[in-house]
Amino acid sequence: MKTDTKGTVSRNNRFFQSLIFLFLPAFLIALAPFNEKAFAATGGEMAILQMFYAHEELKIVTSSRKEKLLNEVAENVTVVTAEEIQAIGAHTLVDVLNYVTGVQMALAGGPGMHANPSIQGSHERHVRLLLDGITMNTVGSLNAYWALIPVQQIEKIEIIKGPASSAWGSSLGGTINVISKGPPKDQAEFPWPKGTVSTSYGEANTGDFRGEFSGRVEGMGYYLSVGKLKTDGLTPGTDFDSDNVYAKLQWNPWQGALFQYTMGYNEGAQGTGDYPSYGYTTDIDFDIFYSTVSLDTPLWGGADLQLSLRTLQQGLNQFWYLYSTGTRFSSLFTSESTHGGSGKVTWKKGRHSLVLGADLDSSDMEHSNFANRGAELDTWAVFANDTIRLRNWTITPGLRYDHTSTSGGFVSPGIGITWLGLDNTILRATVGRGFSIPSLSSTNGSTRITPAFQSNPNLKMEKVWSYQIGMETTWLEKVWFKVGLFRHEVRDLIAINRLPGGKRTPVNKDRARRQGVEVEAKTLPIYNTSLYAGFSFIDARDSETGKILDEIARYTGDVGIQYKDEDSLRIDLKGHFIWWNMSSQPISDFKGNYDDFVWDLFASKKVWSGHGRDLELFFNWRNIFNTSQNLYNILPNPGTWVEGGIRATF
């Protein structure tokens, strides 16, 4: 048998040429002499960002796994703060992501209803969800239970649009990093806890009840969040009932060191819709437990060491019932357990901020449709990146190697550049190679007993080369403007092939090109009123045929107006539009209805304040004009509904 090595050699040459292209500029800059005076002279450049960003938005962790200033971040990043989350009356992470430009959500049902995000037209399985450094995506499907992440415990969310594989590994579409709240920032003792208690109630018996408490006792900092979210369902079959708890403990064992423990648990039941045309309805029982232990300590010469351990356990039971009688006729059980750890050393010297680290995870999955009941995935990775700061330039090279027990190894290089050579303007550019691993449900060999599906143990990783450029400016007085262009060349996409006998199997056969533009603008307040607008266009096509791909949002638009006086009254009016391009779908139930904007109104008013305590009333009026905006007709979005509540801070 003759082996054709020509294509392999050519691909290897292109790969190593790409590595040289990415890292040669950074290497040459690293050899140049360091001018401390010139470096220090750039401190005033943050002034333009401070006009439009909250303090917690100005420092980003996700892009290089080390905190750095926003003007040093080359990636297209969006930050959502706890204040913004509270202002839009969000119940779960799904509600928050729906308003982020460049992130597309197919909403169906009300609070607690499942939805997966797409970033710049990516598949849902390509988006990585991190919470306290834990990857929350399941190994079985690579999706995450986004609707099961309550929002009261969130300090901020950092969203990297485009692959972040040089830092995090499998994340072809993007990375969404949820950073949780913690104890009070200062070290003062708080014998009585600080916190917030809130309750809300709305249509369809929808209630959200929360409590947060934090303080410091004998050198130990603590944060505790408890909550309950329930609804009878704003559309048929979308009832939801969950109880959640989250805790974080922090301790400083010696000077400069931080020991931290986190734990979260969420359990309940979720209706996933009624399907009368097909004669059934479904619901899910779920429970999720996650925990981390970490130590961050200084070493020597400006270096720091961070070690962390993590665990994640997710269980899901899905049931099918006859729509006519309510009789259960089928069920599915899935249980996943992942244990892992990370270690990294960060070192800051002169113009360099270097990060060296490793990740290790082992996952076990049990599935009722697997003949042998289980499957395993083991992964390990090493990574390195640097932030090289000049007077007007920041260069951020990164490199990571991942190895998986199912799909072998992958090298992810990347480089980013920011330039501040113009007044009130930041220019950004990134080039990177990324990937996503196949799910265990796709690669579990011939052990699957579902008659219509044959999994494929020979699946390769899905791969992408990504190119992005962008600009952020305040050239116009009192107006912030951001524009970004992106192009993602994806190959070895997993698609479904039909086998003789009617079975289906996943194979690497598709290639796609996703390119487009994102534009955002907002104003400083004038008479306590500010405006916001965002727009994205995505041209997603099959690279071989040029056909526009279905089920990928082609246009999204956001508009908003905000009134906010001296911390007493706040009103937000938001409009959201999304065009899903489902024109070629032949089945009516799986076509969409998305011709109109959905408008939501959020209002809050402080009715009492004093001695560090506040009492606030809030009111949310969603889908004011009762418009439709759904990816599938079989899963409609809710019509007009309202809710109101009270919030006490102490």
Q: How many CA atoms lie within 13 A of 37 on its CB side?
A: 0
CATH homologous superfamily of 6-649 equals: TonB-dependent receptor, beta-barrel domain (2.40.170.20)
CB within 8 A of 359, min separation 6: which ones? 169, 340, 341, 342, 379, 380, 381, 383
The DSSP-derived string for 324-371 is TT--EEEEEEEEEEEEEEEEEEEEEETTEEEEEEEEEEEEEEEETTBT
Q: Running DSSP on this structure, what letter comes out for residue 101?
A: T
Q: How far apart are CA 119 and CA 98, in angstroms?
A: 11
Q: Looking at residue 50, what is its pLDDT?
A: 67
pLDDT in tens, 3-48: 444 444 444 454 554 555 455 554 445 454 444 443 443 444 556 5
Q: How far apart are CA 263 and CA 292, in angstroms?
A: 7
For 206-209, the CB contacts below 8 A with 24+ separation are 206/110, 206/111, 206/230, 206/231, 206/232, 206/234, 206/641, 206/643, 207/231, 208/91, 208/111, 208/645
Q: Looking at residue 257, what is its pLDDT?
A: 95
Q: What percent of the chain has pLDDT above 90?
A: 72
Q: Give the lowest-confidence range in 54-63, 129-138, 522-531.
A: 54-63
Confidence of residue 89 (pLDDT cuts 50, 70, 90): very high
Question: Is 237 in contact with 247 (CB distance < 8 Å)?
Answer: no
Residue spans per domain, the chain: 6-649
CA 140 to chain centre: 18
Q: What are phi and psi of 272, to 5 degrees?
A: -110, 15
pLDDT in tens, 206-252: 999 999 999 998 889 999 999 999 999 999 999 999 999 999 999 99
pLDDT in tens, 102-141: 999 988 888 998 888 999 999 999 999 999 999 999 999 9
Q: Looking at residue 292, what is its pLDDT?
A: 98
Q: Looking at residue 47, what is its pLDDT?
A: 60
Q: Looking at residue 107, what is its pLDDT?
A: 85
Q: Running DSSP on this structure, what letter comes out for residue 95?
A: H
Q: Looking at residue 35, what is its pLDDT?
A: 46
Unique residue bearing structure tokens 């005033």: 44
Confidence of residue 522 (pLDDT cuts 50, 70, 90): very high
Paired sense of beta strands 154-161 and 117-119, if any: unpaired
Question: Is 341 in contact with 358 (CB distance < 8 Å)?
Answer: no
Q: Mean per-residue pLDDT for 377-388? A: 97
Number of Cβ within 10 Å of residue 449's Cβ equals 11
pTM: 0.92
